[in-house]
Amino acid sequence: MIISMHVRDIDLNLFVVFDAVYTEGGVSRACFRLNLTQPAVSHALSRLRAMFNDPLFVRRHHVMTPTPLARQIITTVRQALNGLETTLTHTNRFDPAKTPKRFVIGLRNNLEAPMLSALVNRISAVAPLVEIATVRSERNNLERELAAGTLDVAIDTLLPLSTEV
């Protein structure tokens, strides 16, 4: 019987250990693959066994053979781990030196122009593919436009903020 759990209550690294033991057919080889000690892998496996109320693997000769439950969940576990790996490796991260991006800056009046010049010069030096667009905005619209995403940044000499921010 599996007790209902929420992912927020589980150490997701346990599933990395599960996959390694399943793939390698033993704790020792899983330790080598994961660069973990034998007690660490055994402890993780023990926690998984308690969580699933199943041995997950049984020793047959020199191989850890997966139980029916382990065989049932391995595909889902691997899909989840692959999804997390994809998220971590293929997420478009902003690299200012290499990423083309357009930022819209809201200005209230000409008083902000001296600040803008220095900002644009600095951005050009560290982020040559970044484009800066400026638009005039009324002070009472700046907060709303920022929240809506029509402005990325607002420059104002005195920006009143609501108490909800």
- Are 107 and 66 part of one and the same domain? no
Helix axes 68-90, 13-24, angle to 10 degrees: 120
Long-range interactions of 137-146: CB distance < 8 A, separation 24+: 137/106, 137/107, 137/108, 138/108, 139/108, 142/106, 142/108, 145/106, 146/106
Same domain as 110, residue 69 = no
pTM of the model: 0.56
* Model pLDDT for residues 62-92, shown as the tens digit of each residue: 888 999 999 999 999 999 999 999 888 877 6
45 and 85 housed in the same domain: yes
Per-residue pLDDT tens digits for 45-61: 999 999 999 999 999 88
pLDDT tens-place string over residues 122-157: 888 999 998 988 888 887 888 888 888 889 888 776
Residue 114 within a domain:
yes
What's 132's domain CATH number? 3.40.190.10
Domain boundary among 71, 90, 109: 90
What's the domain count of the chain? 2
